[in-house]
Copies of this chain bind each other. A is one copy, B any other.
């Protein structure tokens, strides 16, 4: 992948200094602001508090999964099973809620999420199967199980409406939860030993191993965290929709990866941040919201979204080259 590897040994020192001043995500922030200005001009509803809340609420499920995904991608790993994991958690929760009641069912959901994460982690770190294959496999397995066990029709879940409650500032709890998790993971990644270990493993797994870091244990934990995120999103989804079905969460994996990579985390691992991921999420989220407010046909929305995705990153590349010159 062409992220201008290692800048050879001969990168002029000026570049380094310039980079320090204009952070990685500077261009993305500008891009986001440009989007906001554009939509504010084009829709009277865009820059209103309810709409801002809408944007964040719409991001909450993708965002929570992206938080776990950011940890994994920084460590050089993938998790594509997040969407079907969410659906499976939600289904298990719905079934358990019917027979055991809500609170025990929440426990079941957490166990299922952690279980999925442990399964992925075991396959990747112990058996040694490539993370992409592993999670493509579990993606299919849990989607298949959800459809087989739950059947095609959706299952109703009642008495579990916390996620759409709006206790303060008219913000739904699901959005609050997303913000809390985002901040938590941001702190975890940038401030804790565990977080820095994740970066070290992603930057050079061998080097990390040679300084005595238990790389496999850490990666395993990363997958478990991703599993916990699935448990949470499974519960958020169940609560928001008051139901769950076989198609819940379809395609989330791609939305998650897109946001993370757009936010500057490299597929090679070792770089990235939760802040970048949040920017990535917002760029996509604002775009979708704004285009719908402008009543743009969804097929053209796709074209615009693809174009802007590329533009956002191109912009960053060109800015970097500009600084270098």
Identify the A interface with B (CB < 8 A): 1-6, 8, 76-78, 123-125, 127-134, 136-145, 147-148, 205-206, 219, 254, 257-258, 261-262, 266-267, 269, 297, 299-307, 309-310, 313-314, 317-318, 321
Copies held by the complex = 2
Q: How far apart are the CA atoms of A258 and B139 in the complex, in Å?
A: 12
Q: List 13 A-B contacts (CB under 8 A).
A: A1-B132, A5-B205, A123-B310, A128-B317, A128-B321, A129-B317, A130-B267, A133-B258, A133-B309, A136-B306, A137-B307, A137-B309, A139-B306
When A and B form their complex, which 9 residue pairs have the shortest distance between CB atoms, in order from nearest? A144-B302, A140-B306, A144-B303, A141-B306, A137-B310, A147-B299, A137-B306, A128-B317, A137-B309
Knowing A136-B258, A138-B310, A314-B123 touch, does A130 contact B3 (C-beta < 8 A)?
yes
Interface centre among A2, A261, A262, A317 (most CB of B within 10 A): A2
- Interface class of chain A by DSSP: helix
Q: How far apart are the CA atoms of A195 and B129 in the complex, in Å?
A: 27
Inside 8 A of A3's CB, which chain B residues have their CB? Answer: 130
Would you call B76 and A2 a contact (CB within 8 A)?
yes
Q: How far apart are the CA atoms of A78 and B254 in the complex, in Å?
A: 14
Knowing A1-B77, A145-B303 touch, does A206 contact B133 (C-beta < 8 A)?
no
